[in-house]
Structure 1
Amino acid sequence: MLRPPARYLVIIDADGARTALLFTETREDAGEFDASSEEVAVMVKGLRPTLSADGAEWDRALAGSSRLDRQAAEVYTLDI
């Protein structure tokens, strides 16, 4: 069965390293990688982030992240 496409890219600090997290429309995990990779630059080209992942809609998806890290996160909505 195919996984739905990634809809959101969240760039968040995780233990001192910036991490890029991909999520589907329903905020299911779709991947994780180093935020300094070239792929991130390509994915966010021309997009503006929301500057927080502190909303209730992110509670389950980012349960392992601190409130401060979530407040500082960048959330990009990807074109699908």
Structure 2
Amino acid sequence: MSQGFGHELPSRHNQQEHRPVSRYLIVIASSGGQVAKLFVETREQVGEFDASTEEVAVMTRNAAASSGATGAEWDKALAGHSAQERAEAMVYQLDV
């Protein structure tokens, strides 16, 4: 009858560095409908999901919003979207 005695202990957990906090949420039109995209301060995309979810409503409740993501700072991040989609996008700044 083995009780597990003599088994090797698991190795220590190596803490990975956490990603930076999301600073921007963009709600933008896509071929399948509205999508919400999360970006960090450097405008690197870290998430994308359906904009009709409850999470989007919660995140945007107290967030400052501006209309349009046509600035040069968004060129690389939103390269797959048309100029019209970018102009109609809503940009929310999170946790200012």
Task: State the TM-score, normalizing by the size of structure 2.
Answer: 0.79
Aligned to 2:92, which of 61, 69, 76?
76
Root-mean-square deviation (Å): 1.1
**Can you give the 5+ residue segments of structure 2 that lack an aligned partner in the other structure?**
1-16
**Can you give the 5+ residue segments of structure 1 that lack an aligned partner in the other structure?**
none
CA contact (8 A) 2:37 2:47 kept: yes
* Aligned-residue offset at 1:16: 4.4
1:9 aligns with 2:25: yes
Identity %: 54
Any idea what the Cα deviations from partners look like across 1:58-77, whole Å, max 9, x if unmatched?
Answer: 00000001100000000000
Whichever residue aligns with residue 5 of structure 1, its letter is: V
CA contact (8 A) 2:28 2:35 kept: yes
Aligned to 2:57: 41
Any idea what the Cα deviations from partners look like across 1:23-77, whole Å, max 9, x if unmatched?
Answer: 0000001100000000000000023411000000000000001100000000000
Whichever residue aligns with residue 63 of structure 1, its letter is: A
Aligned to 2:79: 63
Q: Which has the larger radius of gyration?
A: 2
Task: State the TM-score, normalizing by the size of structure 1.
Answer: 0.94
Aligned to 2:46: 30
**7-16 or 42-51, which deviates more:** 42-51
User: How many residue pairs align between the two structures?
Assistant: 80
Whichever residue aligns with residue 44 of structure 1, its letter is: T
SS in 1 for 2:55: helix
